Structure 1
């Protein structure tokens, strides 16, 4: 049994972490729910956490900030992150967002890049919308429900909660970008240590268990207090591998290139370090 404890931050507990927590061989996890990606960045820089679960695009943005610039994605823990543009009436499509106040986590990194790409592809100029930082997914949901913005990106369970409250789901990132990747485990290269490697081994065992038993995974999600519908959505995104997909990373870079943003000169290996995933898989390809 692993005796050390890894410190992590995430917006919502991911499926593989919930399943891994039931594994008596898994390293103990001290997890905090963060309110924004900036909070994750600050914690990693200060050494307050060993890893964060976040949008893989954040690595591109964080490595352009003043600071250590040694962030890497070491694993991808879901096939894709389901993201829906949810809007208040009377907005009904992406074109209607022209002139809207959009609630985001950060304006220049993370899932907002996919939203900005959607707007660009729909012919909505970047200066035709207002991007208002409002925090992580729960914080954006709360702000949208309070009428502090016109639309935002939400994932399960907040997208269905907003729809049940009368808001409209007007577009899906996955419908527009089939290769959009799931969240990654992000570390600083200098801090990519034995605790992170041990956690990735536990997540790989969890990934295999989910593949073998959807019911086991469902019970882990229900035990964490999530409804059955969220469990099914999470299970559907169980990845075929913890290795970040080349197609997904390429899409993130392509979005930045199409928007004229910094980071378009990145490639897979300036964003990803898959060495610990290789170890967790026993070198399997």
Structure 2
């Protein structure tokens, strides 16, 4: 009787600021191994670094703010969103103790990853919604969330958007929370997985990777909370950020059309849309086998 050998393991590289829960669970519970994919995680310090790695093929995917894709592709990239890993990104506008309200940010230095993409767009949207003129603030490109946290601690910026666990650490150190993005922009989408051209072309690794993340997503929704918290803390999350992560577990890895429409409309309203964007051109559902959710 002929025996069938197991499929060869595929090597796969992901570029992240902080590993999202589905990636942690897939690693800790060996869903990657079961899917036949060996994942190497590359920690990055800025979205520009992430973009360059994706475009050069140095990494296969990046976990990032989905807004980044609008600018990256307008500059000649050929990248696509292939999944969404959280319902929303839990961001707090966090400031030093001398800032009491959003209106107090006039004349202050605001730390961003990059000037024209990512969370800098939603930050500008929030400022305008609170009556500030954008020229009244100074936007300082600092880097990823860890770099922005350190800049806030050092006093080189006055405020920035932070997510778990760094938002909680900042509050413990005496900084103040001015507002929550999720409360202000209800349909603000969570981070997505963006794939480079090579990963899309040589799709077997990407399909296996997403299969493992789907197994992790299903597990996160079915596991008792204490078990899920245990796995996330084993994977490097502190307790508070693990609890926050459970609140934003994705109901599906397929992105919501409304979330993508929101990031495009915010850019349009701010005059930051480099080219007309069709929502369907941002997402490639073939590796996941799912279309955009309505």
Instruction: Bin the TM-score by the shorter chain.
Output: over 0.9
Larger Rg computed on CA atoms: 2
Given the alignment of the two structures, is residue 277 of structure 1 paired with residue 288 of structure 2, yes or no? yes
Render the CA deviation track for 1:177-206: whole Å, top value 9, x for unaligned.
Answer: 011111000012443121111100100011
Where does residue 13 of structure 1 map in the other structure?
19
State how far apart, in whole Å, the 1-side matches of 2:106 and 2:188 are.
24
Q: How does 1:1-285 map to 2 (within 5 A)?
A: 3-21=9-27, 22=29, 23=31, 24-26=33-35, 27-65=37-75, 67=76, 69-192=77-200, 193-213=203-223, 214-263=225-274, 265-278=276-289
Contact 1:73–1:271 (Cα < 8 Å) also in 2: yes
Shift of 1:263: 4.2
Contact 1:253–1:263 (Cα < 8 Å) also in 2: no
For normalisation by structure 1, the TM-score amounts to 0.94
Which runs of 5 or more residues in structure 1 are unaligned?
none
User: Are residues 271 and 263 of structure 1, via their aligned partners in 2, closer, same or farther at CA, if it must alter by over 3 Å?
Assistant: farther
Partner SS state of residue 250, structure 2: coil
Contact 2:60–2:198 (Cα < 8 Å) also in 1: no
User: Are residues 204 and 128 of structure 1, via their aligned partners in 2, closer, same or farther at CA, if it must alter by over 3 Å?
Assistant: same
User: Please, what is the CA RMSD of the aligned residues?
Assistant: 1.9
For normalisation by structure 2, the TM-score amounts to 0.91
The alignment of Structure 1 onto Structure 2 pairs a total of residues equal to 281
Contact 1:257–1:264 (Cα < 8 Å) also in 2: no
Partner SS state of residue 89, structure 1: coil
Shift of 1:2: 6.0
Shift of 1:164: 0.3
Render the CA deviation track for 1:68-124: whole Å, top value 9, x for unaligned.
Answer: x21111100111110110001221221111111001000100011000000111111
